[in-house]
Each structure stands twice: as C-alpha cells, then as structure tokens.
Amino acid sequence: QVQLVESGGGVVQPGTSLRLSCEASGFTFSTYGMHWVRQAPGKGLEWVSFIWSDGSDKYYAESVKGRFAISRDDSKNTLYLQMNSLRGEDTAMYYCVRGYCSGGNCREAYWGQGILVTVSS
Amino acid sequence: EIVLTQSPGALSLSPGEGATLSCRASQSVRNNYLAWYQQKPGQAPRPLIHGASSRATGIPDRFSGSGSGTDFTLTITRLEPEDFAVYYCQQYGSSPYTFGQGTKLEIK
C-alpha cells in the first residue's frame, strides 16, 4: 500500500535552515507529482509547494517563495523540502502528499502522517 | 490565485441528521479538480472526494460530492458519531493549490 514517511523535523532557531525528507513506497514514485502541505498549530491547511513528476517544474506558495526549495530523487523514492531563513510563522506540521494524477489517470491524493517543525529562539 | 470560501464556518447537528457543506471558488476550477478532506484532532487529513464527485477508496456512500465551476458541495447523509470533524476543500486545478478555511462539524 502507499506509504509516505516524513523525517527531518525538529526545533530550530529563526534564520536557520532545515531539510525535510519524505520516503515513498507502494507506488511508482517517478510517475507522480508531489506536494508539501503544512498546518500551523490550531490553524487550517496551507499548500506549500509542488514538483512535477519529472522535476521539470516547481511551484511555491508566496509565503515561502525564495526561502524554500522542493526537489526529488527518484532513485531513492524520496521527496525533499529545503527550508532556509526560517521564521516563527513557519512553525507547523509538514505533510508530504502524493499528487492526484499520473499519466492522465486521476484519483485521491495520499498523505503522510506529518513531521513537526518548530522555529523558536 | 483561486480563493476558496467554505460555509458555514461551523455546523451543529445531531447524529442521524444530514449535513451540507459548501465550497465556493473565486474563479472556475479547471477540470473541476476539487477535493474534500476530513480531519480529526491529531490526525492527518483523510481524503473523501476528488474530482468534485468521486469518492476516495473506502469512503462510505453517505459521503457525496457535487458541483462544478465555482460552486461545490459536500453532502453527508445520516451523520455517524465518527463524522464530527473539520472538513476542508482544496482545488488542484491551478497553482497555488489552495485550501478553504474549513468547516467544523460539531455534535449538537
């Protein structure tokens, strides 16, 4: 079955960097676009970033543009989120999400269980 | 950017009743790429509906999605105790792939 396991979270100081990883299994990783979605404590869901299946295009929310970078390594079935210049408002649970469509066939997205990032001095 | 507005913000109902949740988009959602999620405290969101009206794997048929263009609805018939949660809509037709602010479904 589809599994997405996030890692790399933790407590960091403002202005520092962190890299999240998401290891995927149970599906052909290279054929799906992948998202990062976050949720601040007690708040709603916020889409963060998306990368196409072939890595050719990447999109970012305005709130993270220029600070975060999404990437993927299909040889390792792993998605990454490099987060630089972290701010207090980046504190959130970060979810790795498999995209909806592959090769024109669309179905529900799959979510990991999330990893907590806390930015605090 | 497509802004999704969910209404009502909160809904108090009793088990056995029906619920109608709305998600209105500020512009047309490409290919009706609209999904609904259920989230309970401490859990990841659970996919319910994709493509506006297709139920996700394992979702009971008391959950149904409808709508197109800018107006979408999630209908839950015969509420069960486990249905009380927060519900979000998301559009995945165009970046940024925005979420609505959520509707909290509470037990009356």
Is the CB of A113 less than 8 angstroms away from the CB of B101? no
Residue type, A115: I
As a whole number of angstroms, the distance between CA B36 and CA B19 comes to 14
8 A C-beta contact, residue B61 and residue B74: no
Q: What is the SS3 assignment for chain A?
A: CCEEEEECCEEECCCCCEEEEEEEECCCHHHCCEEEEEECCCCCEEEEEEECCCCCCEEECCCCCCCEEEEEECCCCEEEEEECCCCHHHCEEEEEEECCEECCEECCCEECCCEEEEECC
Indicate the average pLDDT of chain A. Answer: 97
**How many A/B residue pairs have CB atoms within 8 Å?**
59
Distance, in angstroms, between B69 CA and closest chain A CA?
A: 18
Of residues B47, B54, B102, nearest to A109 (C-beta):
B47
Q: Summarize pLDDT for B71-80 with one digit per residue, the tens.
A: 999 999 999 9
As a whole number of angstroms, the distance between CA A24 and CA A99 comes to 12
Q: Summarize pLDDT for A8-67 with one digit per residue, the tens.
A: 999 999 999 999 999 999 999 999 999 999 999 999 999 999 999 999 999 999 999 999
8 A C-beta contact, residue B25 and residue B73: no
pLDDT-derived band at A88, boundaries 50, 70, 90: very high
DSSP annotation of B32 reads G
Of residues B57, B96, B99, nearest to A44 (C-beta):
B99
For residue A103, what pLDDT is reported? Answer: 84
Is the CB of A47 less than 8 angstroms away from the CB of B57? no
Residue B90: which H helix or E strand, with range? strand B86-91
